[in-house]
Structure 1
Amino acid sequence: MRTEQPWGIGAGIAERFADIGASVVLTDVNKSKGQEVAARIRAKGGKAVFQAHDVANESHWEAAVAAAIGSYGQLDVLVNNAAIEQTVWLADVDFADMQKLLTINVSGAILGHKHAIRVMRPGGASGRGGSIINISSVAALIGAPGLGVYSASKGAIRLLSKAAAVERGALKYGIRVNALHPAFVQTEMGEKLPGDFVSLGVFPDIDAARKAHTALYPQGRTGVPRDIADAAVFLASDMSSWVTGTELVVDGGLSIC
């Protein structure tokens, strides 16, 4: 059984990529945590730099892509991972909160495509194609109470991935695009969810929420960042050279029940 410290999926992916020899640019709005992960990678002999990055800010995307080119001379893989989550009944949605979530989760990913494609495509600063991996969610595939807004955002990522894959193929850019669909993973965001369900009255207490949640998985456990990172490595590598526009579900069987 895999057990890990509950850091984020993005950090787990960055560390896994570095472990297999990739040169990594980590980006986040949280500078201290991002710098900590980059330092941890370098301490293990890996290559990593950190770039402060708000995915809802287009100039930040330009700076992040420039950091990759400036540090390593190329950009071969983009992992669109940044997201926030709301647990709220649809009748109680706050418009400003909804806009913030959709801007980060959806607009941020679209901007990532825009600026990564510009450097990956023929004639770009990197110019040799690549792989774009969008982190969607099992919430884009099945319904869950209180997750309507979040599910809508991840459903958008699911179809963005397919549309982008078709477009990139038609333009002969040599860029593959795929979506990863994790279930709830042991991260700061994932660990928050049972408490949110208790607050909504779905479960009477946190223990009941966690037991019910774990019982949903045929494999008998929730996920850890390494589960998602291993799948991302596959989609980034030549092992998936004929894979584009697909949805790789990494959910311990949750969505088949």
Structure 2
Amino acid sequence: MGRLQGKIALVTGAAQGIGAGIARAMAREGAAVIAADRNVAGVEALAAEIGAEPLALDVTSEADWAKAAAHIDAAHGKLSILVNNAGVELVKPMTEHSLADWRGLMAVNVDGLFLGCRTFQALLAKGGSAGHPASVINVSSIAGLVGYPDQLAYNTSKGAVRHMTKSLAIEWAAHRLPIRCNSVHPGCIRTPMLEMAVEGWVREGSIPADDPWAAVAALCPLNAVGLPEDIAMGAVYLASDEARFVTGIELVIDGGWVAR
């Protein structure tokens, strides 16, 4: 306990799933957590549960990001940890992707990450030092490492997250800014987003309808579906000073899925 004591953490997409898991873990480890989401009721409920500060934030809105930065600057004067977790998924063949589908997904999964990192660079620099850099954690996916059918927009967006992370890690280091940047790549984690994807896989016949979760678990070498807490503990490590020499990496937490 206390691995993040004294740190200020902003977690996007915190109303449910992996984002909620990360927010809970960081609060337990002593961080002052700002839990952000466009689902205001959901994030307020989480904040009340864990003693965090709720923040209404649509990651596609440049104005919302600017308001968030002004608020955190006034309240804290710095930011130690930024977790860009907010994301959406689309499961259907490429020929059924409309341009509006494509652009809407990219706006959340890619533009939102860019806006967050750009908006908070100055506050992150204030929140870090040469020996204790601030930490940016971008939640990608194993779909950003390998291809999956009928997820073209999602796969592409998560590949962009991976490469943006590496580019920012090198850019901030080149400019001597005390900010580390790493990506986390979850495998099959039991979240509302994965439940939606599994429903799509059942409809297309990729997995059986009678026991789809057993089929998903069987695809993993550990024969299990992960939980948000599994990802959260990786994020805690990357956010902590234990990882002060770690930047530009991709932390894969997938039960061995992409290893075979």
Specify if TM > 0.5.
yes
SS of 2:176's partner is: coil
2:76 is equivalent to residue 67 of structure 1 = no
Asked whether the 8 Å contact 2:128–2:178 carries over to 1, the reply is no
What TM-score, normalized by structure 2, do the two folds share? Answer: 0.89
Equivalent residue, structure 2, for 1:203: 207
| Structure 1 stretches lacking a partner, 5+ long | 1-5, 43-47
How far apart, in 2, do the equivalents of 1:235 and 1:127 lie?
A: 14
| 1:222 partner amino acid | V
Shift of 1:206: 5.2
1:49 corresponds, among 49, 53, 57, to 53
SS of 1:157's partner is: helix
How far apart, in 2, do the equivalents of 1:171 and 1:220 lie?
A: 44
2:84 is equivalent to residue 80 of structure 1 = yes
Shift of 1:237: 0.7
How far apart, in 2, do the equivalents of 1:87 and 1:232 lie?
A: 26
Equivalent residue, structure 2, for 1:157: 161
Shift of 1:70: 3.0
- Trace 1:99-114 onto structure 2 (pairs within 5 A): 99-114=103-118
SS of 1:210's partner is: helix
What TM-score, normalized by structure 1, do the two folds share? Answer: 0.90
Shift of 1:67: 2.9
2:135 corresponds, among 122, 131, 134, to 131
How far apart, in 1, do the equivalents of 2:122 and 2:177 lie?
A: 10
For residues 181-207 of structure 1, the C-alpha deviation after alignment (integer angstroms, 9 at most, x for no partner) is 001211111122211112223234252
| Structure 2 stretches lacking a partner, 5+ long | 1-14
2:101 corresponds, among 97, 101, 106, to 97
| 2:25 partner amino acid | R
Equivalent residue, structure 2, for 1:16: 25
Q: Aligned pairs, how many?
A: 243
For residues 119-167 of structure 1, the C-alpha deviation after alignment (integer angstroms, 9 at most, x for no partner) is 222xx5x464411000000001112111111000000000000000000
Identity among equivalent positions (%) equals 40
Question: Which segment drifts farther, 21-30 or 68-77?
Answer: 68-77
Equivalent residue, structure 2, for 1:168: 172
2:217 corresponds, among 207, 214, 228, to 214
| 1:39 partner amino acid | A
How far apart, in 2, do the equivalents of 1:241 and 1:130 lie?
A: 9
Instruction: After the TM superposition, list the runs of 4 or more consecutive aligned residues in structure 1 that deviate by more than 4 angstroms.
Output: 126-129
How large is the Cα RMSD of the aligned pairs?
Answer: 1.6
How far apart, in 2, do the equivalents of 1:249 and 1:146 lie?
A: 22
